[in-house]
Amino acid sequence: MLDNRIRYLERIVLGRETTDGVGVRLTRVLTRELQARLDPFLMLDAFRTARAEDYQGGFPDHPHRGFETVTYMIAGQMRHHDSGGNQGLIGPGGAQWMVAGSGLIHSEFPEQSQGLMEGFQLWLNLPAKDKMISPAYRDIPAEAIPQCVLGNGVMLRVIAGECAGVQGAVRRPVTEPLLVDVHLPAGAALNLPLPVGFNAFLYVYRGELVMAGGVVPDRAMGILSNEGGTLEVVAPQGARAIVVAARPLGEPIAQHGPFVMNTPQQIEEALADYRAGEFDGARVGAL
């Protein structure tokens, strides 16, 4: 179903500075308070620093169950290891898609001791029926992410979903997420169809974007209204942003740190399974 109405800017979110892992400094943009509004998205962390002490500690072994994680790098390199024996290096412009499913343990460490480290990690909920599926993992190098350049010089890198007739590197069932990295030269406008009924937001990581309802500045999220099916933005001085959308699940969320289920009882079961070592040596397949 097509809807040519323009989605307006509903709210700007600046996020909050925090640390995670071993002292890794980041901005938590999508917090628990926004999970219901931006269902099925659970979290968005943005990181951008050239201070090695802000990222060197990395993220030692930690568990996940019940959702998917998406890491997208703008600059720098991160090494992944998981309890299934997989490992991979995510470099500039590359991504990693991991389905935690029934549970796994993984780690993420920077593979550099100096220079800029920049990127995002997005958590995407799994529907109740899929929370206990087998874990899966995929590295997506920069050259494997389809991209296109529009007539006005706007470049789209389609990590997930379909955009401007370009099939992304990843397609996922049920929530059908769309994740696009958008590069706009100075003065360029973008008119981008978004699936009707999908919750959507954008995060500007360079410059600023002007749209109906206001201006989204650098290092800020703009939550898009649910009315309409078209995103229309202008970049007066040039800008870069990720555009994110997905079909909401409308299911209850029970969360305890890295476990996201539907009921408190399921959380207790996840904790018990982890303590019993059932995540150790998990078979992690290919996505």
Go through the domains of the chain in sequence order and give each one's CATH number: 9-252 (2.60.120.10)
Backbone angles phi, psi at 169, to 5 degrees: -70, -25
Given a cut of 70, is residue 280 above it in pLDDT? yes
Given a cut of 70, is residue 1 above it in pLDDT? no
Give the tokens for residue 84: 């299934």
Given a cut of 80, is residue 2 above it in pLDDT? no
Mean pLDDT value of segment 183-211: 97
Task: Answer whether 168's CB lies under 8 Å from 160's CB.
Answer: yes
Give the tokens for residue 137: 């993992």
Task: Answer whether 226's CB lies under 8 Å from 69's CB.
Answer: no
User: What is the Cα–Cα distance from 106 to 83, expressed in whole angstroms?
Assistant: 6
Mean pLDDT value of segment 210-220: 97
Task: Answer whether 256's CB lies under 8 Å from 56's CB.
Answer: no
Strand, coil or helix: 108: strand
Residue (of 182, 154, 194) closest to 5 by Cα position: 194
pLDDT at res. 3: 78
- Using CA atoms, how far residue 275 sits from 266, 270, 279, 280, in Å, is 14, 9, 9, 10
This prediction has a pTM of 0.97
Burial class (CB in 10 A: 0-12, 13-18, 19+), 272: exposed
Given a cut of 70, is residue 222 above it in pLDDT? yes
Mean pLDDT value of segment 188-197: 95
Q: Could you report the per-residue pLDDT of 101-148, keeping only the tens digit for each?
A: 999 999 999 999 999 999 999 999 999 999 999 999 999 999 999 999
Roughly how many angstroms between the first and final C-alpha of the chain, as a whole number? 29
Identify whether 185 is preceded by a cis peptide bond (ω within 30 of 0): no
Identity (one letter) of the amino acid at 114? Q
Task: Answer whether 67's CB lies under 8 Å from 260's CB.
Answer: yes
Give the tokens for residue 171: 């397609």
Q: Which residue has the tokens 């981008």?
A: 192
pLDDT at res. 27: 98
Kindly state the DSSP code that residue 129 receives in the 8-state scheme: G
- Name the percent of the chain lying above pLDDT 70: 99
Average pLDDT value for the chain = 96
Q: Model confidence at 4, in pLDDT bands (50, 70, 90)?
A: confident
Q: Could you report the per-residue pLDDT of 37-95, keeping only the tens digit for each?
A: 999 999 999 999 999 999 999 999 999 999 999 999 999 999 999 998 889 999 999 99
Task: Answer whether 135's CB lies under 8 Å from 285's CB.
Answer: yes
